[in-house]
Amino acid sequence: MKEPDGLSCQERNLVLIGFMGAGKTTVGKQVAGRLGFDFVDTDRELEKVLHMSVPQIFARKGEAWFRRQERNLIVRLCAGEQRKVLSLGGGAYLQKEVRRVCLEHGLVVFLDVSWEYWKKERYPRIRDNRPVLQNKTMEEIKGLFFERRRQYVLSHASIAITNRKDAEQAAGRIAAFLRRARESEKAKP
């Protein structure tokens, strides 16, 4: 797979996207370990640079400001050094510029968690510390989940997660996808 910027799959950043609590950070760290790539979680990186937690950034600066910082960071990371695994905050990929740089410079993998699994297993763990989930009914969250999914599917590959076993196997499946992509790239004249 030779993409527009001429980088091979061996070098490209791997970008993990998906809804809040999909497991991007956990899976990302595991994949980075397998590939020998550095791991960057964009939320943690923003918190480090801005000396505030994500909920504090939302409360003090507002969501629009957070989105600008998020976008600038991702553009910088994607255009810079390669051989990284990037785990993106769940709302980042809704920005057109973020989609563009990730698709152009990276290999984008969508962690496609089913609604039922997310609601039962993931939501209870994250409900209190995600500003975007506050003051929303379950119907509204469901609407957001499926509305965002329409952007997430604009990726290079997706990994379906409908239960814990799928979640545990996700890193292995991503590594296998990368191996296949690298092999088919090598086979090309």
Binding site listing for ATP: 21-26, 130
Least distance (Å) between residue 122 CB and ligand S3P: 10
The verdict on 75 binding ligand S3P (CB under 6 A) reads no
The region, left, alpha or beta by phi > 0 then psi within -120 to 50, assigned to residue 178 is: alpha
Can you tell me which of 15, 30, 31, 43 binds ligand S3P, judged by CB under 6 A? 43
| CA gap 111, 117 in Å, rounded | 12
As a whole number of angstroms, the distance between CA 139 and CA 156 comes to: 29
Q: How far apart are CA 83 and CA 81, in angstroms?
A: 7
Footprint of ligand S3P on 89-118 (CB under 6 A): 89-91
Q: What is the DSSP string of 10-28?
A: TTSEEEEE-STTSSHHHHH
Which x/- pattern over 20-39 shows residues binding ligand S3P (rule: CB under 6 A)? xx--x---------------
Candidates 77-85, 97-105, 128-136, 157-165; binding stretch for ligand S3P (CB under 6 A): 128-136
Smallest distance from the beta carbon of 21 to ligand S3P, in angstroms? Answer: 6
| Chain centre to alpha carbon of residue 3 | 20
Q: Should residue 45 be labelled a site residue for ligand S3P when binding is judged by CB under 6 A?
A: no
From the list 90, 104, 105, the residue with the least C-alpha distance to 147 is 90
Q: Compare residues 25 and 162 and give the one whose CB is closer to ligand S3P.
A: 25
The DSSP code for 140 is H
Q: C-alpha angle with apex 123: 121 to 124, nearest 5 degrees?
A: 80
Among 54, 111, 161, 171, binds ligand S3P (CB under 6 A): 54
Q: Which amino acid is at 155?
A: S
Q: How far is the CB of 182 from ligand S3P (least distance, A)?
A: 28
Segment near ligand S3P (CB under 6 A), from 5-13, 87-95, 150-158, 167-175? Answer: 87-95
